[in-house]
Amino acid sequence: MPLRRPLPLAVSAGVVLALTACSSGGSGASGGGDGGDGIAVLASFYPLQYVTEQVGGDLVSVDSLTPPGAEPHDLELSPAQVDAVGRADLVVYLSEFQAAVDDAVDANPPAHVVDAAQDTELHAAEHEEEEHAEDDGHDHGSLDPHFWLDPSRLPAVADDVAAQLAELDPDHADEFRANAEAFTRAMTELDEEYQAGLATCDSRTIVTTHEAFSYLAERYDLEQVGIAGVDPEGEPSPARLAEVGDVVRDEGVSTIFFETLASPKVAETLADELGVDTAVLDPLEGLTDESQDYVSVARANLETLRTALGCA
């Protein structure tokens, strides 16, 4: 049974128009049009959009190639979006995560690029899926991309973004650097909240629908057990489901986590068979509620983990 809802093959006309407007209305500092909307930036998906917005502030106009509510792993780009990549003042993306974005950057190189994969050390995926619902032709690579769930890894990306923005708009270089420093302080505070909140817990094992939380688990001394591997399109084999069931029983796991952009069916079915609860643990790949942001979702995740793991 598939873990993910089918993705739309094209974004809405409104999103395409917004991206086109962004790419054609750059700031005076970057030699763009006369739209007056600041430096035109494209981010490949939400966490990188958030970092760029925090660093750029009112001096940048940031759009995401991944529409709100869409699952980013298998993003497909329209011709207008591919064109917008080349016309943007700055593109912030994560190489080897979204193949369509990699292809667009290679085919239509923007003037300035931040590749977040160059700002952090990505580690190998914990295990590959034993079977797939279908061969979709997408190559997610052998590395786990979900580094953004460890807030201590994001300041390096912010510093890189600040440096690129300073090249585009030297008059505001000090402001970009100050914003990056403020962002680092915010991520340090969030990291300290996680360290304190997860210091003493009855359990340290988190069972999730797919292995999106390895960086979080590594940072806070937790053990992640994924029903499927790092690729959300993977379908767990009966043997894998049996292995996860053994872990839940042997380690007294009380909760199986599913995600905001994923079908809960596998998690709910397995939890029902094992007599345990389910809860949402958000991988922060995209927002479904405009009133939230990276920090508010991360704090909600922390409280969910504390409840499920019995943390003091």
Q: pLDDT-based confidence at 68, cuts 50/70/90?
A: confident
Of 153, 175, 190, the domain-final residue: 190
Pair 78, 186 in one domain? yes
Find out whether 95 and 114 touch, Cβ atoms under 8 Å.
Answer: no
Asked if the structure places residue 2 within a domain, the reply is no
What is the domain range of residue 176?
13-133+144-190
Q: pLDDT tens across 89-132, in order?
A: 999 999 999 999 999 999 999 999 999 999 999 999 875 444 43
Pair 17, 151 in one domain? yes
Asked if the structure places residue 123 within a domain, the reply is yes
Q: Give yes or no for residue 139 having a pLDDT over 60.
A: no
Residues 6+ apart with CB under 8 A from 5: 71, 261, 262, 263
- Give the pLDDT score at 200: 97
Asked if the structure places residue 139 within a domain, the reply is no
Asked if the structure places residue 138 within a domain, the reply is no
Terminal CA-CA length for the chain:
37
Asked if the structure places residue 44 within a domain, the reply is yes
Q: Give the whole-angstrom CA distance, residue 65 versus residue 82.
A: 9
Pair 40, 175 in one domain? yes
CATH number of the structural domain spanning residue 243? 3.40.50.1980
Pair 180, 89 in one domain? yes
Q: Give yes or no for residue 36 having a pLDDT over 50.
A: no
Q: Parallel, antiparallel, or unpaired: how do β-strands 112-115 and 39-43 relate? A: unpaired
Pair 149, 224 in one domain? no
Q: pLDDT tens across 240-276, in order?
A: 999 999 999 999 999 999 988 777 888 999 999 999 9
Point out the least confidently predicted range of 20-29, 56-65, 296-305: 20-29
pTM here? 0.84
CA atoms within 13 A on the CB side of 183: 28
Asked if the structure places residue 182 within a domain, the reply is yes
Pair 226, 153 in one domain? no
Q: pLDDT-based confidence at 1, cuts 50/70/90?
A: very low
- Give the pLDDT score at 176: 98
The tally of domains found in the chain comes to 2
Pair 256, 117 in one domain? no
Pair 148, 200 in one domain? no
Q: Structure tokens of 17?
A: 């128009």
DSSP, res 222: -
Of 190, 212, 228, the domain-final residue: 190
Pair 201, 75 in one domain? no
Asked if the structure places residue 8 within a domain, the reply is no
Q: Give yes or no for residue 186 having a pLDDT over 80.
A: yes
Pair 116, 62 in one domain? yes
Pair 36, 68 in one domain? yes
Asked if the structure places residue 4 within a domain, the reply is no
Pair 96, 169 in one domain? yes
Supply the angle between the helices 173-197 and 154-168 in degrees, to the nearest 10: 170
Q: Give yes or no for residue 77 having a pLDDT over 90.
A: yes
CA atoms within 13 A on the CB side of 60: 32
